[in-house]
Amino acid sequence: MTTRTEIALTVANRLDRSVSRALPAALVRHPRRCPACGYSGRFSTAWALTGRRAEAYCPACHAAERHRLQALVVDVLSSRLDLTTMSMLHIAPEPILAKRFWNEFASYTTADLVRDDVDLNFDITNAPLEDGSYDVVYASHVLEHIPDDRAAIAEIHRILAPGGFAVLPVPIVCERTIEYPEPVESEAGHVRAPGPDYFERFAAFDAVEVFHSSDFSEEPQVYIVEDRSRYPNRHAPFRTPTPGRRHEDMVPVCTKG
């Protein structure tokens, strides 16, 4: 059900995006640059039920902080490895990165539990795929939706080819991971609030390299800028308060030896 508040938030998001796009980059004090599309100028605010995130969206391609950080991480991976020889499985594919992956990898397959705009439909906790099927598995902001996430991680490890890697970022919103007693609708159905300790669940992999916002320059603005001292609240009932207004985002790259 769409509430009046949600309609107001949608209008605020669109308005902020239009204003940002209309502002010439020369008039912006600290212009940002989007690594996903090359846009330069002001980033727009995200107005959401769980709170406001400053400089969240690229108004040109709608890349959020996480997409921009991931685009930078893929740049690093691309400089180290020949991605053009590798096969990728992209779970719950985001259009912002999908086009790039389709062009960059030797083969590109998309999958989702229910969506009909993907190549395969399956449950990632029980994937109908052979062991070692893909060189790369990419699942961004997926595991926080899955109650039995450990089964999903085990399946991702199984279907990954030796020498391959999985990119498995989740929203890092608390200091320690909190398991929710039930999915939270106002958090897009999340069943937990991950903290940096969440990456300990990737122990089956041979190595986990975590890229942080602070590994990159200020220009792409890859921090989450929001007030988390206001948790818990009605729309984030199980989160705990975190001090500060600028929070590191993280992208774990898990290698299978």
Contact residues: Zn ion, CB under 5 A: 34, 36-37, 39, 58, 60-61, 63
Shortest distance (Å) from residue 254 CB to Zn ion: 27
Rounded to whole angstroms, the Cα distance separating 17 from 118 reads 28
63 or 97: CB nearest Zn ion: 63
58 or 72: CB nearest Zn ion: 58
Angular region, 185: left φ>0, alpha ψ -120 to 50, beta rest: alpha
37 or 154: CB nearest Zn ion: 37
Name the 3-class secondary structure at 46: strand
65 or 144: CB nearest Zn ion: 65
Shortest distance (Å) from residue 68 CB to Zn ion: 7
Shortest distance (Å) from residue 61 CB to Zn ion: 3
34 or 174: CB nearest Zn ion: 34
Rounded to whole angstroms, the Cα distance separating 177 from 195 reads 4
CA dihedral 19→22→27→30, nearest 10 degrees, is: 60
Side chain identity, residue 58: C
Shortest distance (Å) from residue 63 CB to Zn ion: 4
Q: How far is CA 246 from CA 21, 65, 149, 213, 243, in A?
A: 24, 12, 28, 10, 9
Shortest distance (Å) from residue 43 CB to Zn ion: 9
60 or 113: CB nearest Zn ion: 60
To the nearest 10 degrees (0 to 180), the angle between helices 95-104 and 65-80 is 10
Shortest distance (Å) from residue 219 CB to Zn ion: 12
CA angle 220, 56, 231 (to 5 degrees): 130
Cα 44 off chain centre by: 18
